[in-house]
Structure 1
Amino acid sequence: MIPADKKIIVFDGVCNLCNGAINFIIKRDKNDIFRYVSLQSETGIRIAEERRIDIKKSDSIFLVLPHKAYYHKSTAALNITKDLSGLYPLLSVFLILPKFFRDWVYDIVAKNRYKWFGKKSHCVVPTPELKALFID
């Protein structure tokens, strides 16, 4: 079940970089803002379909807001930083850069993420204490 009061991060569950990013976010989500779902899961696929996102053409993270809107690519990543503890919200200043430039950089990393960081054969199962943060 998708909680109506949480922001949902839809991520590539087999990507080592993406899994590392999710662990990073979890440690800094002091106000319990986010829930997480793998793009490969039934729920991740359904969320993408509801928003007309073609997951076959997208190498992106998605931040789904409670009111059904969503961000993807660099805009999602930078909006996620706004809700983290520490100095990370300052990174959202990069939202002033043109989207085409931010997404160009994002796309370079996304295109090479498996080569640079590796890939798992299946989605990682969260530890029991973190399982409640994941949907599906």
Structure 2
Amino acid sequence: MAAILDKGAYSYRDDPGVPAFDDSGQIAVMDGNCALCSWGARTIARLDHMEMFRICPVQSGTGDALVRHYGLDPTDPETWLFLEDGHAWSGMEAIIRIGERLGGAGRLATLLRILPRGMREWLYRRIAQNRYRFGKSDMCTIPDEKLRRRLMT
């Protein structure tokens, strides 16, 4: 988390390793092969009625470059990144912030704030490290049109 906090807003724009992309909305970067992440991506697509969110698989060139820019390892199961207004969050904080932005049922994620930060991140790490027990799924091949419109490469 410290690597993310040390970066200024839109710092990735000055990083030659990060390809240029449209960063006008919120972006969730997650594992495109994880069934839980694919479920999360479909949930975002379903709840985001204003279509402000885009989903970027960490396995894509942009996703890989973004997580590396923030000092995260794209092969680490704990890597999950949320970008909004040029600022970045990872882990459970990213999930909670996405839930807040989505509103409605998405706001249920904010209930996780009743847990101390350390416990939230511990819970996130446990789930992330065991995510493939829930199965694998190629997010990019899911025939959900709402999701496919939001995918970044």
Provide, for residues 78-107 of structure 1, a one-character-per-residue CA deviation record: whole Å limited to 9, x for no partner.
111012242432532433532110011111
Which residue of 101, 112, 134 corresponds with 1:94? 112
Which structure has the highest helix share of the two? 2
CA displacement 1:39-81 (0-9 Å, x = unmatched): 01111111112222222345232101232x2111110111110
Unaligned runs of 5+ in 2: 1-19
Counterpart mapping for 1:1-136 below 5 A: 2-67=21-86, 69-115=87-133, 117-120=134-137, 122-127=138-143, 129-130=145-146, 131-136=148-153
TM-score using structure 1 length: 0.84
The count of residues paired between Structure 1 and Structure 2 equals: 133
Alpha-carbon shift at residue 13 of structure 1 (Å): 0.4
Q: Distance in 1 between matches of 2:46 and 2:144?
A: 15
Runs of at least 4 residues off by over 4 Å: none
- Contact 2:98 / 2:106 at 8 angstroms: preserved in 1? no
CA distance in 2, matches of 1:128, 1:98: 36
Q: CA deviation at 1:5?
A: 1.5
Mark the runs of 5 or more structure 1 residues left unpaired by the alignment: none
Paired residues of 1:9 and 1:61 also in contact (CA < 8 A): yes
Q: Is the 8 A contact 1:11 1:37 kept in 2?
A: yes
Q: TM-score, structure 2 length as denominator?
A: 0.76
RMSD over aligned Cα atoms: 2.1
Query: What is the percent sequence identity of the aligned residues?
Result: 26
